[in-house]
Structure 1
Amino acid sequence: MARILTDIPDEDIEKLDALAKRQGKSRAAEIREAIQLYLVQHADNQDWITRGAGLWKHKSDIGDAVEYQRAMREDRRPYDDV
């Protein structure tokens, strides 16, 4: 991992810090995620499925996809009851 020094406008830093606080993350973590997203979106040699694969794997604020699907299916009601 490398450290870099870059100039970022004060207004952007304020917004970044507010976002980091809402997410419960550090400023550095938010910057790393932003760079990863930027690189994925600007990759020339990958199709859209490859670009998106694993993009949210480090997200801790969403639940398990299978559990979500099961919960959605359990909530379905037959149209006859409408």
Structure 2
Amino acid sequence: MRTLVDIPDGLIKGLADISATEKKSRAELIREAIAEYLQKHKPTTVAAFGLWKDRKVDGLAYQEQVRSEW
């Protein structure tokens, strides 16, 4: 997908320097930066919601049972 993004001149200059050094296109560097950002900010707790939805155990009863073992 193509998208338009306004990037300040200072960032474009820095991007051009890295592009020349690494011999990669600006577009490739931007894609890599976005992928790295998304990986770093990937939600982790959201994936845990609903893990017990198919279990036939009452959550509170299970919690009390496990804690009684302490």
TM-score for the superposition, normalised by structure 1 = 0.53
Q: Which has the larger radius of gyration?
A: 2
Flag structure 2 segments of 5+ consecutive residues without an equivalent: 46-70
Q: Cα offset for 1:44?
A: 1.2
Q: Give runs of aligned pairs for residues 1-82 of structure 1, distance below 5 A.
A: 2-45=1-44
2:29 and 2:36 map into 1 onto residues whose CA distance is 11
Name the structure 2 match of 1:52. Answer: none
2:31 and 2:5 map into 1 onto residues whose CA distance is 13
Task: List structure 1 segments (4+ residues) > 3 angstroms apart after TM superposition.
Answer: none
Number of residue pairs matched by the alignment:
45
Flag structure 1 segments of 5+ consecutive residues without an equivalent: 47-82
Which residue identity does 1:28 align to in structure 2? A
| Percentage identity across paired residues of the two chains | 44
Backbone CA RMSD of aligned residues: 1.2
